[in-house]
Structure 1
Amino acid sequence: PKVTLNGFEDSISAYIVPVEKSGYFKPFTQYPSYFTEAQKTQLTQEGRALVEQKVLPLYQNFYDFMTKEYIPNARENIAASSLPNGAEFYENRVRYYTTLNMTSAEVHELGLKEVKRIRQEMEQIIKSVGFNGSFADFLHFLRTDAQFYTTSADQLLKEAAFIAKKADAMLPKYFGKLPRKPYGIAPVPAEIAPKYTTGRYSGSNSDDEPGYYWVNTYALDKRPLYELEALTLHEAVPGHHLQISLNSELTSLPDFRRYGYISAFGEGWGLYCEYLGLEAGFYQDPYSNFGRLTYEMWRAARLVVDTGMHAQGWSRQQAIDFMASNTALSLHNVTTEIDRYISWPGQALSYKIGELTIKRLRAKAEQELGDKFDIRAFHDAVLENGSVPMSILEQQINDFIEAKKATR
């Protein structure tokens, strides 16, 4: 859809720079000590010529194609249901990304129910901090008050690193098996940062390379600190890094299982880990806890706006207004997210559905096992077979419960 491509050309033009500023030329400015000066000079000349004559023109061609042909001819309608067989296609996407036999209408109603529940918890926090004003006033306060924002990229990265190290310390209490691979923290690459999400986990399939928790340092006034605990627990540990790294270590599985990713499982696990932080002593600051709730609200609102736009005729602005009025996400993040849902129908449904399934299975295990329930064993059981559909996870946890019952 055309509206989702606004500004996309900037992510191409970021590569159309003088040769010396190109990332493709950077390797030709750094040589091992055993290279002679003559070799360096020759390679630098060859590298400069290749970047100038082969690389940069291709980016210019790509830019021209996108701005003159692709974007002007992109469709105006945002809904998947507007495509040929679109309604059936979207219902297929709902089942694919939730890995459950749910309809878009059922997902929409569940989303509205979750939004109502989370909103009540948010209102309690607003009351507890003594804020005088409406819910909208409080969101405006969070989005604009300087105390919630850093003034440098390094400061934001250091805050994320401090939280990540605290998260490392919680792992032995909640997991019996931990991955071998460590992770680092790095900024989202500048070329893609303007249209990129707030944070992301970037894994590695190589034994001699770490995973990375990427933190977006573009537009620092749109990266509030009160969201950082929830973001870190989701993207680093015990969220994506722990789950994906353990998955890759399951050498008994074929590679498509070791390195595959099922959104309902992986993103459901990440959101569950945000919640797990409550038990581990995070979110002591009420604003940080509000940040956790606004992240949970974000995922609940996704159920509403994704199905609203693709199946129920919602406009883009209607979706933006719904999310902006129910979460403390910055307006920049809200519009970025809505455009993501428009261009990737159904994927955003996986997070909340996966989390609710994992929490339901945990509650079942706690109830049926009583004093035999061990949180470390439960988490290991969830992760031990890799990324699986929610229906398969339910079978596995039922087997786990029966096995524990049989032990003395």
Structure 2
Amino acid sequence: MKDVHGRCFSPIWPRFNPLRPDVRRRWCHRRRGRMHMSISSLTGALARSGMLCAAAFLLGGAGHPSLPELVASYEDFSRDHPMEAGRSDPPRSRVGWPDETQDGMAQRRVALERIATALDGLGNDGLSDEDRVDRDYLRQLVGWRIEGIDFDERRFAFVAHEGFYNTPYALARGLNLRSEAEALEWVERMRGIPGYFAEQRANLERGVATGWTHPAIVIDVGAAILRKQIATPVTEDPMLEPLGGYPDVAAEALRLIEREIRPAQRTALAYIDGPYRAKARRDLGIAAVPGGRAYYDFLLRYYTTTDLSAEQIHAMGLAEVERIRGEMDAVIASVGFSGSFADWLRFLRTDPRFYATSREELIEKYAAASKRIDGVLPRYFSVLPRQPFTIVPVPRELEEGYTTARGGGGGDFERGFAGTFVVNTSHLDQRPLYEVPALSLHEAAPGHHTHGALNNENKALPDFRRARDLLAFREGWALYAERLGHEMGVYRDAYEKFGSLSTEMWRACRMVVDTGIHVMGWNYQQARRCFSENTALADINIDTELARYIGAPGGAVAYKVGELKIVELRRRAEAALGARFDIRAFHDLILAQGQLPMTLLEKRVDAWIAAPR
């Protein structure tokens, strides 16, 4: 959960993981000369790499491009505009900061519209089944990108704990600079931060002018992060960390932070916490802004990759809450607890046995759970990634308002980077240990890390299918991995089983709460009660999550929608194949797709069921 995910994020962008070194190096090691590459040098480079047709198409040539040329065109677009393509890779434009001005977005739309029109004219002749899947998914993907631009999403330049103010730190953290020249390139890139911040302010001002502003609860989270960044002594600023081996360059960067970047941060804070907050929308739901219901309906289509309405999703969520609550009650009865559900939650939230006493202990608990899981994975998967993962704490400057845990994109074996599983080690009295196994399954293996690492290793798929920006697929798989933990024997006692049910209930409540807030006019307390009365989530987690759902509408429902579809497809396969059903082959099939909308995934599974054995 990319789930997104520094700003490097809009409601339809994945969350940028601040601890993915593979992303940081690729983004930050672009030479300035390449960022200002001329058309002639660009087309020359593409010709040498076999991509001249794609470049010509994007520049207005190539009358009837083939599917491989269109795929290459989209991948070239992705390298230039990674955020618009749902990626976290380096753009070639300017000094590496995304051009999110209205003119910049209009140019992106033109490029995407050309690809969409060409895809519409591409028939089935000469296309294999796999080609048709690529074409259909790419057309859907490009359509979503265009629709997002048409809604002018950049008016929301930040989303609670994720925003433009985090982008420089996300890029700097863990950056491995191998020469003084690369160190100087990083400093040169830092010089673009004030301009990047100024553009984001312009986007926010356009939001104010058009009635597209956040509620105060979202604004306050962003302001708190900026205050913490500004309060950090300049000598301890994370942007300096990559420059440790280059003292002269670091001194130059320190002066740059003091003289240009800190003032830009203060200016951003003054605006966000002042004039912008004064225009905060009163209603929590996005439907309150002009065109907000249409925008929310679009977000649901994008995030779930289905045509489910808000009302249908709300009803599905209520049904899941009822089902899971019944399973919770059975677990409580199994340990002989005689109090009410509220008494049970109070017991779980206050008994010290369920909480680590140090940050280090919490990390160790996650490590132990992950190794237990490793021991049973081969029984359920015949294809596993080569790439390992590491477990690290969320950086101190990000932990306030940060989610409980987050898995990375699988690392990069070729570049020597392990996958990263980050754990929030703050507020230990609100990080229950009985949730550790479920979160490990979700964020690491066989959840996000396994999926991401296999995508990285699956060179047979085009890059847009190896990305991880479809929440319904990515998060649906990870939530399915939590459910699989029961079959795998990962949950050792009633408390860990309840922890799993609690995290599942959390995702079911998301379906109810997200649609309740953004369409049905729910207030904060209504939304909060769904979590406090049905899950063991601590207060700080509930408030953190609610700020996230309010600030980034629609994404929270994708987890359950995706998981329920995968469960449905598995049951269909089990019923059709009977004794011939192979659980390892089914899991391998799902992960071999890279990522697909749920409608296309369903077609692949149906074809697999029908295939001779």
- What is the TM-score with the length of structure 1 in the denominator? 0.93
Which of 309, 325, 336 lines up with 1:130 in the alignment? 336
In structure 2, what residue type is equivalent to 1:247?
N
CA change 1:45–1:361 in 2 (3 A) is: closer
In structure 2, what residue type is equivalent to 1:221?
D
- The 3-state SS of whatever aligns with 2:391 is strand
2:249, 2:601 → 1: CA distance? 54
Gaps of 5+ in 1: 33-39
CA drift at 1:297: 0.6
In the alignment, what sits opposite 2:308? 102
Which of 219, 222, 234 lines up with 1:5 in the alignment? 219
Contact 1:95–1:102 at 8 Å: present in 2 too?
A: yes
In the alignment, what sits opposite 1:195? 401
CA drift at 1:205: 5.9
In the alignment, what sits opposite 1:36? none
In the alignment, what sits opposite 1:59? 265
Is 1:397 aligned with 2:601?
Answer: no
Is 1:18 aligned with 2:226?
Answer: no
- The 3-state SS of whatever aligns with 1:191 is helix
- The 3-state SS of whatever aligns with 1:308 is helix
Which of 456, 476, 484 lines up with 1:268 in the alignment? 476
- The 3-state SS of whatever aligns with 2:321 is helix
1:298, 1:137 → 2: CA distance? 19
Which of 133, 146, 149 lines up with 2:352 in the alignment? 146
1:20, 1:43 → 2: CA distance? 13
1:19, 1:277 → 2: CA distance? 45
Of the structure 1 ranges 82-91 and 109-118, higher mean CA displacement relative to structure 2 is found in 82-91
In the alignment, what sits opposite 1:185? 391
CA change 1:368–1:128 in 2 (3 A) is: same
CA drift at 1:27: 4.4
Of the structure 1 ranges 61-70 and 373-382, higher mean CA displacement relative to structure 2 is found in 61-70
Measured against aligned partners, the alpha-carbon deviations of 1:49-69 in whole angstroms (never above 9, x if no partner) come to 233223322222222222122
2:450, 2:238 → 1: CA distance? 31
Contact 1:204–1:210 at 8 Å: present in 2 too?
A: yes
**1:6-405 to 2 correspondences below 5 Å:** 6-16=220-230, 17-28=232-243, 30-31=244-245, 40=247, 42-43=248-249, 45-203=251-409, 206=412, 207=414, 208-403=416-611
CA drift at 1:244: 1.4
Contact 2:408–2:448 at 8 Å: present in 1 too?
A: no
1:146, 1:66 → 2: CA distance? 40
- The 3-state SS of whatever aligns with 2:571 is helix
- The 3-state SS of whatever aligns with 2:406 is strand
Fraction of identical pairs, as percent: 45
Contact 1:8–1:195 at 8 Å: present in 2 too?
A: no
1:205, 1:340 → 2: CA distance? 26
- What is the TM-score with the length of structure 2 in the denominator? 0.63
Measured against aligned partners, the alpha-carbon deviations of 1:58-99 in whole angstroms (never above 9, x if no partner) come to 222222222122223221211121122222322222222221
Of the structure 1 ranges 47-56 and 286-295, higher mean CA displacement relative to structure 2 is found in 47-56
Measured against aligned partners, the alpha-carbon deviations of 1:220-251 in whole angstroms (never above 9, x if no partner) come to 11111011110000000000000111112222
2:566, 2:408 → 1: CA distance? 23
Contact 2:331–2:498 at 8 Å: present in 1 too?
A: yes
In structure 1, what residue type is equivalent to 2:245?
Y
- The 3-state SS of whatever aligns with 1:212 is strand
CA drift at 1:130: 1.8
CA change 1:46–1:90 in 2 (3 A) is: closer
- The 3-state SS of whatever aligns with 1:15 is helix
CA change 1:64–1:176 in 2 (3 A) is: same
2:388, 2:287 → 1: CA distance? 43
CA change 1:51–1:313 in 2 (3 A) is: closer
2:432, 2:555 → 1: CA distance? 25
In the alignment, what sits opposite 2:21? none
In structure 1, what residue type is equivalent to 2:390?
G
Measured against aligned partners, the alpha-carbon deviations of 1:264-289 in whole angstroms (never above 9, x if no partner) come to 11101001000111111111211111
CA drift at 1:365: 0.7
2:519, 2:327 → 1: CA distance? 29
Measured against aligned partners, the alpha-carbon deviations of 1:168-212 in whole angstroms (never above 9, x if no partner) come to 222211111111221110111111111111000122664321110
CA drift at 1:19: 2.3
CA change 1:134–1:247 in 2 (3 A) is: same
1:4, 1:144 → 2: CA distance? 29
CA drift at 1:292: 0.3
Higher relative contact order (CA 8 A, sep 6+): 1
CA drift at 1:330: 0.5
In structure 1, what residue type is equivalent to 2:222?
F
1:152, 1:350 → 2: CA distance? 34
Contact 2:410–2:448 at 8 Å: present in 1 too?
A: no
In structure 1, what residue type is equivalent to 2:434?
Y
1:353, 1:382 → 2: CA distance? 16
Contact 1:203–1:210 at 8 Å: present in 2 too?
A: no
- The 3-state SS of whatever aligns with 2:255 is helix
Contact 2:389–2:411 at 8 Å: present in 1 too?
A: no
CA change 1:59–1:87 in 2 (3 A) is: closer
In structure 2, what residue type is equivalent to 1:351?
Y
Measured against aligned partners, the alpha-carbon deviations of 1:146-181 in whole angstroms (never above 9, x if no partner) come to 111111110000000011111122221111111122
CA change 1:27–1:108 in 2 (3 A) is: closer
1:18, 1:108 → 2: CA distance? 46
Give the number of aligned pairs. 396
Contact 2:402–2:424 at 8 Å: present in 1 too?
A: yes
1:335, 1:304 → 2: CA distance? 16
2:234, 2:307 → 1: CA distance? 53
In structure 1, what residue type is equivalent to 2:605?
I
Contact 1:136–1:325 at 8 Å: present in 2 too?
A: yes
Contact 2:410–2:418 at 8 Å: present in 1 too?
A: yes
CA change 1:288–1:395 in 2 (3 A) is: same
Contact 1:157–1:186 at 8 Å: present in 2 too?
A: yes
Of the structure 1 ranges 88-97 and 119-128, higher mean CA displacement relative to structure 2 is found in 88-97
2:498, 2:580 → 1: CA distance? 33
